[in-house]
Copies of this chain bind each other. A is one copy, B any other.
Amino acid sequence: MNSSQQIELALGNAIEHSLSAALASVIGPDCPPKLADAMRYSVFPGGARIRPRLALAVACACGQDNPAVANAAAAAIELLHCASLVHDDLPCFDDASTRRGKASVHRAFGERLAVLAGDALIVLAFETLATGVKALPQRLPALMMIISRSVGMPTGIVAGQAWECESRVSLSAYQQAKTGALFAAATMAGAAAAGQIPEQWRMLGERLGEAYQVADDIRDAAGNAEELGKPVGRDVALGRPSAAVEFGISGAIARLDFLVAGALESIPECPGRDDLRALIQQEVDGLLPKQLKRETRDARQAA
């Protein structure tokens, strides 16, 4: 195991621990048991946890003075991401039957509990932030602004989802709101949690967010459902904007590489810059199924 892999493991453990603690803080014998189950089911077992890991990695790279603050920000961002997946899967949106390799929340618990689990996770995100940042309240307003702007109006993930209800929308505005915003919040909140200026970390998050969205489009168009744990081909079926549809698989992979290079270049000077670069490179390497990367490389070489 190399040092990047060790850091990744430690970050992953910190995130699972923070998420468990957040849920445990509001789930007890007196709460409605089905909603409690639906909330746990929405958060565990997790996906790649890429946003909270990014937040923690940036906080570490900035030389954080209080890990509880970054852990709270990271957990809040992941809870909001989980909430958005639960609501996006609802029958009125994607009507997805599976997510992360198991039944979607509304299929497993019914539509009412899926709506409520999403709502409760949004609220829990902010509560988790308040609890974790209590010792340094002067950092709380900025963290709340960064995180709430990345989720709500006018440019957060809810706004991104709302663009799907409009007849005219540009691909980049849509993707920026739907994915880029929460990635930018991850890098900016990581910096703000460590007491650094968040704004100079925005570009890293935005570029990684766009890269991640492009990778998602590619997987949706070319991946296989079993490897992804959710149905594929939904973008085309639902007529949604997609980089894979717009540029073709091979063009989309070239765009992905370009975005990642730009992301790595944008990392500001900080104590842990080299470790952060290595960590991000490692994350990015896992974004596309190996089979697909091999095929595309072979096709490029043959061309």
The residues of B that contact A149 with a CB separation of less than 8 Å are 127
Whole-angstrom distance from the CB of A33 to the nearest CB of chain B? 7
Q: Are A126 and B148 in contact (CB under 8 A)?
A: yes
- A283–B133 Cα gap in the complex (Å)? 37
The residues of B that contact A131 with a CB separation of less than 8 Å are 141, 145
Q: Are B130 and A162 in contact (CB under 8 A)?
A: no
Q: Are A153 and B118 in contact (CB under 8 A)?
A: no
Tell me how many chains of this kind the complex includes. Answer: 2
- Given that A35-B159, A126-B148 are known contacts, is A87 also in contact with B115, CB under 8 Å in the complex? yes
Q: How many residues of A contact B (CB 8 A)?
A: 59
Q: Are B123 and A152 in contact (CB under 8 A)?
A: yes
Q: Are A119 and B31 in contact (CB under 8 A)?
A: no
The residues of B that contact A159 with a CB separation of less than 8 Å are 31-32, 35, 120
Which residue in chain B gives the minimum CB-CB distance to A126? B126
Q: Are A35 and B158 in contact (CB under 8 A)?
A: yes
Interface residues of A (CB under 8 A from B): 26-28, 30-36, 39, 83, 87, 90, 92-93, 110-113, 115-116, 118-120, 122-124, 126-127, 129-131, 133-134, 137-138, 140-141, 144-145, 148-149, 151-156, 158-159, 161-166, 169, 173
- A288–B277 Cα gap in the complex (Å)? 64
- Given that A122-B119, A126-B148 are known contacts, is A154 also in contact with B26, CB under 8 Å in the complex? yes
Q: Are B141 and A124 in contact (CB under 8 A)?
A: no
The residues of B that contact A163 with a CB separation of less than 8 Å are 32
Identify A31's interface contact among B28, B111, B130, B154, CB under 8 A.
B154
